[in-house]
Chains A and B, each alone.
Chain A
Amino acid sequence: MPATQMRLRIDASRCQGHNRCRAIIPQLCGVDDLGQGVVLDQGIVRPEWLAAAELAVRNCPEFALTLEAEPTV
C-alpha cells in the first residue's frame, strides 16, 4: 500500500468569497486581493489539520471545497 496524503481543493468556479474556510482553517485557506478563497501550500493537509479541513468542507455555502486522498510522491 503506498502512503497517502489528503489534499484540499477550492473550485474557483464555485467559490464566491464567503471566506468561511479561512475562518475555520487559516493554516490551509487564505484569500486573494479580490476576496476569493485560495489554498495555501498546495492544499496539503497535515494529519493534525484533518478534522478542521473536513469541517471547512462541510461549512462552505457554495460546496466549493473538496478533500481527496492521493498517493504521496
Chain B
Amino acid sequence: MRWSLLLTLSIWASMPLAMETTSEPDFDSLGGNTILLERAKALEPEKQISIVQTRTVNRRNRIELAPELASTFGGDSYMRTRTLGINAGYHFNPRLSVSLKYNYAFNNLTDEGEAMVDRARADFEANPENPSSPYPDLDYVRDEAMALVNWYPLYGKLNLLNKAVAQFDLYTLAGAGQVRLRSGTTSTYTAGCGIGFWINRNLSTRFEVRYQNYTAQYLTGEKDMDLTIGSLQMGWML
C-alpha cells in the first residue's frame, strides 16, 4: 500500500517532465527520484559485466629467444656461480610452451673459499714439506643444457603508474638435462616458477626462480647439490 502510493506520486511528479519536451529541459531533476531508485534496486537483473581483451602478445605457434642472466644460491659454500645463457622456446598456445636452455657458468670463490685458499697457501709457504691446512674441495659447473616445459595457468596485468599497462602470466616450469661439472658430465633436473611480462608484441621479460638438482663429485664422495637459481630473461618473440 505504502509502495503503490509513493509510486503513484512519483509517476505524477515526473509526468510534466515527460510531456514538456518543447520547453527547456532541466538537468537537476534528472534521476533525482530517490524513491524510484530504492524500488528499482529490488528489480536488478542478473547480469555480468566483464572485460574481454586481446592479449598484447599472440602466443600461438610463436618462437621466443631469450638471453638469460642467472645467479645460484645454496650449493657449495666455497663457490659462487653465475651463468649467462640463452633460451629458445616454442609457444604452442598462451598456456603451454617448451624450451631449450643453455647456460655457461662463471665461477669464483666466495669469501669463505678465498680465506681457506689463503690459509692453505700461507701454510704451504710456511711449511712446504708438510702443509696441514687443506685447500677447498671443489666441483663446479662449467655449463649446462636442459629441456623445459612451461605451463601458464594464471594471468593478470600491471598498471605502470597510469602510463602503461603490462600483461603478465605466472607460470611453472619443469625440465631435465645435462650439466658439465669440473668432475665430468652428469644429469640434472629442475622445477620452478616465474612471471613473464609481455611488454609489446615482440619484447618480453621474465623473472624466474627454480630449484635445480645434480650430483657433484668430491674427494670425499658424491654429494647431492640442491640449488636455488634466480634468473632474469629478456625475450624476443619471433
A and B held together in a complex:
no
